[in-house]
Amino acid sequence: MQQKIKKLQGIIIALLFFGINLNPQVQTINNMLDGEAKQYTNSISLINNNGIENINGEQVTTETVFANNSNTLETATSGSALLGLKQLTLNNDTVDVKTPKKLVVGGQTIGVKLHTKGALIVGISEVTTPNGETVTPALQAGLKTGDIIEKVNDVEVQNAIHLSELVNKQKTGTVKLTIKRGVNTLDVTITPVKDKNDGKYKLGTWVRDSTAGVGTLTFYDPETLKYASLGHAITDVDTKTNLCVGNGQIVISDILDVKKGEQGTPGELKGSFSDTDEAIGSIEKNTDFGIYGTLKKALKNSIYSSPLEVGNMNSVTLGKATILCTIDSEGIKEYECEIVKINLQESASPKSMVVKITDSRLLNKTGGIVQGMSGSPIVQNNKIIGAVTHVFINDPTQGYGIFVEWMLEQL
């Protein structure tokens, strides 16, 4: 009889343990102890798919969720439910909650002055020698359009004039060029040829060492003054390659005129700035997702005086939004638009969403999106969600935008 009672007690205890382990809170604790990121199913709901989950009945957007071996779960959230909440403790396991990133929104038209690192080859040319012979030393050495000449005999090239000085310093014989071709760096030996017309030794190349243009500031971090602009790379007009930054500056640009965009013909903001204009920031990087650098001082935005919360891609919705840009002497203005398509992306791309301009004021003035508006910040639900990057040639009322989180990764 006693054996039957003990057996029955054992069965009851086993069932109790089984029932306890099915409890969601216990499962959550076990998962944290195992170093895995799992979903809270009771009072806290977080999941590592950048999706929208509930916290005590409130909607929040989680950007990243992960657990490490020290049993600490961290999340960056853009919702309101956890704002001000610094730390949660669950059975001695700490849950850290980071407040959302906030950025100062741009919209200012900027002049971009970029000097390349080295000299970019934009063409191969023939050289006529004093005896009338026509040769192409660059072609014979294997140089190509798009190559960047970074060094001559291990001396760094500052610009096109400096390149000519280094080549002529030696007068005769071969020189070693260090060139950048795509992601590769290689050494090339070349024999400069004396030109019949001016008596200078030449490589037989056309080179470019700088560029300038107009764009729009997207945002800056109020804590570091690091800024982002354009949303796409500055490329050479001839070779279509990204320009490698040697040094550069951004300045505030005045808008002189607007060329209205039409079907088949992109419009343009015609800006004015000069070498004597005071720089407001440096250019440190030129990437597929815009140009980046550091401002000299904080800039004010008359539309949004306080920094805006960052909205990640999962917070972007189809429908109404606004863009900020400068198209005349009246400064930054906010214009209505719509997000008509969203491309949820696993990797960074400047074509994250399709934006359609709906504001009659902007349509009447520019016809939609025009050159010079690249980088115009996109705001939705009081969050900065991205920037305008491209215009559709056949429909200037529409264009592409990039998610702001891709731009943030480049800071």
pLDDT of residue 14: 55
Known active-site residue 328: no
Structural domain contains residue 280: yes
Q: Flag the least confident range among 17-26, 136-145, 227-236.
A: 17-26
Mean per-residue pLDDT over the chain, rounded = 81
How many CB atoms lie under 10 A from the CB of residue 356?
Answer: 18
- Flag the least confident range among 61-65, 203-207, 295-299: 61-65
256 plus 392 within the same structural domain: yes
What is the domain count for the chain? 3
Cα–Cα distances (Å) from 63 to 78, 131, 215, 281, 305, in that order, read 8, 69, 29, 30, 25
Q: Which of 147, 164, 232, 315 is catalytic?
A: 232
Per-residue model confidence (pLDDT) at position 89 = 42
Average pLDDT of the residues in 236-249: 88
Q: Say yes or no: 359 and 287 in one domain.
A: yes
Q: Is 364 left (phi over 0), alpha (psi -120 to 50) or beta?
A: alpha
Question: Is there a single domain that holds both residue 220 and residue 281?
Answer: yes
Q: What is the CATH number of the domain that holds 327?
A: 2.40.10.120
320 and 402 housed in the same domain: yes
- The parent domain of residue 30 ranges over 2-100
Domain-terminating residue out of 150, 176, 203: 203
Domain termination residue (choose one: 164, 180, 203): 203
Whether residues 180 and 224 share a domain: the answer is no
To the query of whether residue 232 is one of the catalytic residues in this protein, the response is yes
Same domain as 271, residue 381 = yes
Say if residue 309 is in the same domain as residue 363: yes
- What are the distances in angstroms from CA 208 to CA 7, 114, 242, 372? 89, 11, 13, 22
278 and 400 assigned to the same domain: yes
- Residue 99 has a pLDDT of 64
Specify whether 90 is located in the same domain as 216.
no
Catalytic residue among 238, 254, 288, 359: 359
CATH number at residue 150: 2.30.42.10
pLDDT band at 12 (very low <50, low <70, confident <90, very high): low
In a domain, 121, yes or no: no
> pTM score > 0.85 for this model?
no
Does 296 share its domain with 403? yes
305 counts as catalytic:
no
Do 23 and 165 fall into the same domain? no
Give φ, ψ of 147 to 5 degrees: -65, 145
With a cut of 70, say whether residue 182 has pLDDT above it. yes
Within a domain: 354: yes
Q: Using 50, 70 and 90 to split pLDDT, how confident is the model at 170?
A: confident
Can you give the pLDDT at residue 252?
93
Q: Which of 229, 315, 374, 376 is catalytic?
A: 374
pLDDT band at 267 (very low <50, low <70, confident <90, very high): very high
Q: Quick: pLDDT tens for 36-70.
A: 333 333 322 233 333 333 333 333 333 333 323 22
Three-state SS letters, the chain: CHHHHHHHHHHHHHHHHHHHHHCHHHHHHHHHHCCCCCCCCCCECCCCCCCEEEECCEEEEEEEEEECCCCCEEEEECCCCCCCCCEEEECCEEEEEECCCEEEECCCEEEEEEEEEEEEEEEECCEECCCCCEECHHHHHCCCCCCEEEEECCEECCCHHHHHHHHHHCCCCCEEEEEEECCEEEEEEECCEECCCCCCEECCEEEEEEEEEEEEEEEECCCCCEEEECCCCCECCCCCCECCEEEEEEEECEEEEEECCECCECCEEEEECCCCCCCCEECCEEECCEEEEEECCCCCCCCCCCCEEECCHHHCCCEEEEEEECCCCCCCEEEEEEEEEECCCCCCCCCCEEEEECCHHHHHHHCCCCECCCCCEEEECCEEEEEEEEEECCEEEEEEEEEHHHHHCCC
* Mean pLDDT score, 13-26: 50
Does the residue 117 lie in any domain?
no
Give me the torsion for CA of 309, 314, 319, 322, rounded to 10°: 30
Q: From CA 171, how far away is CA 186, in angstroms rounded?
A: 23
**What is the rounded average pLDDT of the residues 63-88?**
31
- Residue 120: inside a domain: no
Across the range 368-387, mean pLDDT stands at 97
